[in-house]
């Protein structure tokens, strides 16, 4: 029960201060992703509040921050453009239901099978994406709407403030850890800009530039409950279902990978299935309260962890502080210089990127090095979820190719004059071709034994290969004796019509990872 407030490795003070820091960094991110999705800024801000609060309270990873994200926003934009924002809210609700179902069926544990090279490529690509996203803060649209770099004097001021922010974040912990260095940097740079009246862009300027409205503000009211105004028909389901599945998949992949990264940073273990339920519940509530939904945000999660946030209180504080900004503190938040927030995100980039991967390239197999680079590049040019899919598929194909070459036999002739093939290595879809090439039905004696004691029959392709081998010896008028096959293997040997002797001995037991910790 007390875990709602405090994780065993967290402190109240660290959680409160880090949560406040995260809330400051959430504002421009939520606004930017709302514009990417084609919705009003408040829709993104409400999503950051609701997703952050719900996942902090019931999610499976204390200290992880959720909110509106770019990965999901790019999926939403087409739905909003074609059918309107109400269909988006309905799709977000359905996506949440899918995510809750995934958690209920304990599917979150499968994130543990993502190969380590894919994880490295994921974090490296994500660091590059975060870095490139910050470059937009150094640009403004011209009269034709084309983005141009800031004038030299403004650019120099902003770069100087970014450097000052990064310096404070880097050096302050060496002096004191009483206050998160990121929060201290934001407050210090804001005070300097306001006190010296420096000409540099702030959050309000960013909001006006994104919306094209000089009266734009982050001030608002509490989100209100509303059922999405869409027809409850099969046609509506056909429209939103494809988007909902994609949103659910993208949200879970990004959230569970972020959970894994936070696990590594903190030396603790989150509960992936519980996180699926938390993300789903957050999206369901978002859809009913006029928010765009979202998932875990690795950038803000890194800010939180680096600022000392470990417990659920940090996420709760971030969400409630963001709501307080919307209701009461808009005037203060709008004067925060973008340079301070950019500096914080640049430090996140430096901390997120796996710099050791450069040294690793010459030490790991070439295939792993290729996967790291591939996932990094695909992440930068497409999106995180697609990059992970590509990385897992390529890793699986490389694994299959490598193990396809590991199958072989030792042969000898027993006292009865029968030839014995002692099979070694796994028999699966990748190795069946090599397996069949090991035998010579025409030259072998009338009785042949294939011993599977040192082999593992892995899939249906392997069973079909065994059946094909039996047919070959049957066609040659010879008897094939198969030893140490499991009953499942024997069931598919139908074409041999009883001419194949099968000695049924159970295959060894193989343990499967227990998912109780992931519940």
Is there a domain that residue 1 lies in?
Answer: no
Distance CA 358, CA 364 (A): 11
pLDDT score at 382: 82
306, 421: one domain: no
- Of 342, 358, 374, at which residue does a domain stop? 358
Residues 327 and 430 both lie in one domain: no
Is the model's pTM score more than 0.85? no
Asked whether residue 117 is domain-assigned, the answer is yes
For residues 188-225, one letter each, b for 16 or more C-beta atoms within 10 angstroms of the residue's C-beta and e for the rest, the string is ebbeebeeeebebbbbbbbbbbbbeeeebbbebeebee
Q: Do the beta carbons of residue 62 and residue 312 sit within 8 Å?
A: yes
> Does 323 share its domain with 418?
no
Say whether both 101 and 188 belong to one domain.
Answer: yes
Residue 476, domain extent: 405-504
Are 291 and 430 part of one and the same domain? Answer: no
Q: How far apart are CA 382 and CA 218, in angstroms?
A: 30
82 and 196 inside one domain = yes
Helix axes 338-352, 116-135, angle to 10 degrees: 160
**Whole-number pLDDT of residue 508:** 44
Same domain, 252 and 344: yes
Same domain, 319 and 425: no
pLDDT tens per residue across span 269-315: 899 999 999 999 999 999 999 999 999 998 899 999 988 899 999 99
Q: Is 511 domain-assigned?
A: no
Residues 187, 252, single domain; the answer is: yes
Predicted local distance difference test score (pLDDT) of residue 518: 53
Q: What is the pLDDT of residue 489?
A: 63
Quick check: is 346 in a domain?
yes
Domain final residue pick, 358, 388, 420: 358
Tell me the pLDDT tens digit for each residue of 386-430. Answer: 888 899 999 988 888 887 777 889 999 999 899 999 999 888 888
Element (H, E) at 413: strand 408-413
Distances in Å between the Cα of 441 and the Cα atoms of 134, 145, 432 are: 66, 74, 16
Can you list the residues of the chain whose pLDDT is less than 50?
Answer: 1-9, 495-497, 499, 503-517
Domain end among 303, 325, 358: 358
Nearest CA to 111 out of 10, 215, 253 is that of: 253
Tell me the CATH number at 431.
Answer: 3.30.750.24
Mark whether 333 and 432 lie in a shared domain: no
422 within a domain of the structure (yes/no)? yes
Instruction: Please report the pLDDT score of residue 496 as a whole number.
Output: 44
Q: What is the 3-state secondary structure (H, E, C) of 43-101?
A: HHHHHHHHHHHHHHHHCCCCCCCEECCHHHHHHHHHHHHHHCHHHHHHHHHHHHHHHHH
* Same domain (yes/no): 330, 430: no
In a shared domain, residues 110 and 24: yes
Residue 371 forms part of a structural domain: no
Instruction: For residue 270, tell me if it sits in a domain.
Output: yes
What is the number of domains present in the chain? 2
Residue 2 included in any domain: no
């Amino acid at each position: 029960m007390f875990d709602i407030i405090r994780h065993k490795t967290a402190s109240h003070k660290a959680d409160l201060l880090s949560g406040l820091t995260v809330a400051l960094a959430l504002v421009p991110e939520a606004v930017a992703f709302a514009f990417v999705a084609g919705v009003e800024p408040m829709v993104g801000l409400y999503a950051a509040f609701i997703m952050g609060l719900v996942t902090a309270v019931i999610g499976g990873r204390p200290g992880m921050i959720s909110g509106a994200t770019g990965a999901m926003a790019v999926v939403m934009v087409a739905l909003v453009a074609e059918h309107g924002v109400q269909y988006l809210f309905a799709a977000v609700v359905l996506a949440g239901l899918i995510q809750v179902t995934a958690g209920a069926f304990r599917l979150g544990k499968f994130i543990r099978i993502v190969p380590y090279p894919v994880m490295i490529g994921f974090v490296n690509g994500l660091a590059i994406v975060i870095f490139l996203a910050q470059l937009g803060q150094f640009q403004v649209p011209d009269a034709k709407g084309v983005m141009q770099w800031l004038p030299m004097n403004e650019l120099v001021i902003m770069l100087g403030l970014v450097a000052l922010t990064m310096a404070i974040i880097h050096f302050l912990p060496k002096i004191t850890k009483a206050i998160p260095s990121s929060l201290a940097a934001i407050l210090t740079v804001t005070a300097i800009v306001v006190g010296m009246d420096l000409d540099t862009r702030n959050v309000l300027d960013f909001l006006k530039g994104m919306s094209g409205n000089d009266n734009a503000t982050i001030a608002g009211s509490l989100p209100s409950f509303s059922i999405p105004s869409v027809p409850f028909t099969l046609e509506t389901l056909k429209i939103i279902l494809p988007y909902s599945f994609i949103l659910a998949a993208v949200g879970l992949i990004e959230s569970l990978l972020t959970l894994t990264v936070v696990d590594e940073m903190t030396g603790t273990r989150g509960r992936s299935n519980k996180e699926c339920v938390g993300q789903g519940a957050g999206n369901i509530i978002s859809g009913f309260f006029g928010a765009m939904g979202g998932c875990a945000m690795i950038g803000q999660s890194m800010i939180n962890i680096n600022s000392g946030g470990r417990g659920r209180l940090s996420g709760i504080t971030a969400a409630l502080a963001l709501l307080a900004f919307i209701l009461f503190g808009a005037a203060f938040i709008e004067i925060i210089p973008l340079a301070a927030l950019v500096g914080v995100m640049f430090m996140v980039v430096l901390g997120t990127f796996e710099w050791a991967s450069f040294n690793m390239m010459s030490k790991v197999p070439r295939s792993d090095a290729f996967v790291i680079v591939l996932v990094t590049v695909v992440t930068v040019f497409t999106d995180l979820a697609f990059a992970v899919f590509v990385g897992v598929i390529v890793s699986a194909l490389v694994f299959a190719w490598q193990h396809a070459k590991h199958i072989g036999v030792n042969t000898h002739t027993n006292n009865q004059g029968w030839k014995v093939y002692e099979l070694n290595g796994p028999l699966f879809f990748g190795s069946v071709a090599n397996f069949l090439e090991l035998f010579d039905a025409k030259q072998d004696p009338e009785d042949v034994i294939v011993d599977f004691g040192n082999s593992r029959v892995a899939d249906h392709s392997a069973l079909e290969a065994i059946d094909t081998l039996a047919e070959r010896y049957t066609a040659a008028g010879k008897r094939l004796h198969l030893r140490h096959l499991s009953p499942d293997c024997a069931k598919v040997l139908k074409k041999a019509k009883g001419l194949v002797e099968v000695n049924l001995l159970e295959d060894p037991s193989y343990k499967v990872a227990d998912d109780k910790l992931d519940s």
